[in-house]
Structure 1
Amino acid sequence: MPRPRTLSDEQLLDMVLGLVHAEGPDAASFGAVSKISGLSGSTLVQRFGTKAAMLRACLLRAWDRLDMETARLIQSVPTTPAGAIDLLAGLSKDYGDDATSYAEGLLLLREDLRDPALRARGAAWGKTLAAALDRCLHAEGTQRPLGRLTLSQWQGCLLWWGFEPHGSIEHYVRGELKQFLETTDQASAT
């Protein structure tokens, strides 16, 4: 009879994710995870097989959490341009207000882009967000599909905030997106 698990996969993957956020993806070795979890290296090998498989499982767990938060925010915001800004500002809160930790988080993006399964999750998330933004931006009569363009603007403003982290990231995102949406309205009026 197998021994009962002292940590669920979810608990363990959350520990790995904490380590990855704090020290980067390369820090997620079996030895380091063994140290923070109290599980032996051989137990980790039995669960995941390889370090790469453990990291992928960890990042898929992170995508699951992001998908749930995204769905929650989509349901909670009005389908207006202000709702589009609320949605993206709400998602920005997870980046924190420290440019150094934001930069460390970009190492996760590197892993997402390297792994086909993770890259597919990112692409699906982008389509979900773009569709939600289109609904918000169509609510006031515009028939232009601005969702993907707004999503690209959001990602760009996150990067620019990283270079000049003045104030909270949420405040910065709100200001940049408000200016962007006002500009697109003026451009469509001419």
Structure 2
Amino acid sequence: MKLIPDSEVLAVTLKLLLLNGEKAVTFSAVAQKCKLAAPTLVQRFGTCPAMIDAALALAWDQLEAQTAEAFDEAQGKAKGVQGILKALSGPIDSPALVTASLKSATLAQRAKAWRDQVEAALTLKLGSGAKAAETAALTFAAWQGRLLWDGAGGKGFRLGEALKRLTD
């Protein structure tokens, strides 16, 4: 019986990865944070890259569940584009997750599929046709950019105002 479940180990792995980069994720560093022996992690995951991929895959599972919940909630309500994006701005740092996932073809494909899914939902809220799809793509890119730069003090950009300009 595992005293510390893999999900907790992977949460620590993800936190180290997103805060300090891939080089910060070692069996020793994760073991220390989890109060485990490094060989235990070797037995569980085999290699550090495998542990990192498992952490990223778990984060994608969580983001995809959060996305489905946001879409379900928006379905029955008059929530517009901003409501959907606000519901998606949760505990998972999606720009950081996308960036960290680009080294793996499988994870990069999950990132693309997620973007396509969000853009499709935004398109439905904006109408139909090429203009709605283009506006959805621009809105998604602006939203992700804002999330990325908010951490660096870039709070001057207002997505709602940009969306109004795009839809006029």
**TM score, norm. by length of structure 2:** 0.81
Q: Does structure 2 retain, via aligned residues, the 8 Å contact 1:48–1:54?
A: yes
Q: How many residues align?
A: 165
Q: Greater CA radius of gyration, 1 or 2?
A: 1
In 1, Cα distance between the equivalents of 2:42 and 2:60? 23
State the one-letter code of the partner of 1:59: L
Question: Which residue of 2 is the match for residue 85 of structure 1?
Answer: 82
In 2, Cα distance between the equivalents of 1:95 and 1:60? 12
Q: Does structure 1 retain, via aligned residues, the 8 Å contact 2:120–2:136?
A: yes
Identity among equivalent pairs (%): 32
State the one-letter code of the partner of 1:50: T
Question: Gapped runs of 5+ residues in structure 1?
Answer: 97-101
Secondary structure of 2:102's counterpart equals helix
In 2, Cα distance between the equivalents of 1:66 and 1:158? 15
Which portions of structure 1, spanning 4 or more consecutive aligned residues, are displaced by more than 6 angstroms? none
Give the root-mean-square deviation of aligned CA atoms.
Answer: 2.7
Q: How does 1:50-61 map to 2 (within 5 A)?
A: 50-61=47-58
Question: Which residue of 2 is the match for residue 123 of structure 1?
Answer: 112
Question: Which residue of 2 is the match for residue 27 of structure 1?
Answer: 24
Q: Does structure 2 retain, via aligned residues, the 8 Å contact 1:79–1:136?
A: no
State the one-letter code of the partner of 2:32: K
State the one-letter code of the partner of 1:128: Q
Q: How does 1:155-170 map to 2 (within 5 A)?
A: 155-166=144-155
**Deviation, structure 1 residue 185:** 2.7
Larger RCO (CA within 8 A; separation ≥ 6)? 1
Q: Does structure 2 retain, via aligned residues, the 8 Å contact 1:83–1:136?
A: yes
Q: How does 1:31-180 map to 2 (within 5 A)?
A: 31-77=28-74, 83-94=80-91, 106=96, 108-138=97-127, 143=129, 144-145=132-133, 146-166=135-155, 175-176=158-159, 178-180=160-162
Change (3 A) 1:111 1:95: closer
State the one-letter code of the partner of 1:32: A
Provide Cα deviations, 1:156-185, integer angstroms capped at 9, x if missing partner.
Answer: 333454454348xxxx5xx32x22222223
Secondary structure of 1:114's counterpart equals coil
Q: Does structure 1 retain, via aligned residues, the 8 Å contact 2:12–2:33?
A: yes
In 2, Cα distance between the equivalents of 1:45 and 1:162? 34
Question: Gapped runs of 5+ residues in structure 2?
Answer: none
**TM score, norm. by length of structure 1:** 0.73
In 2, Cα distance between the equivalents of 1:40 and 1:160? 37
Provide Cα deviations, 1:51-95, integer angstroms capped at 9, x if missing partner.
Answer: 111011011111111111111111112588952111112323447
In 2, Cα distance between the equivalents of 1:95 and 1:14? 11
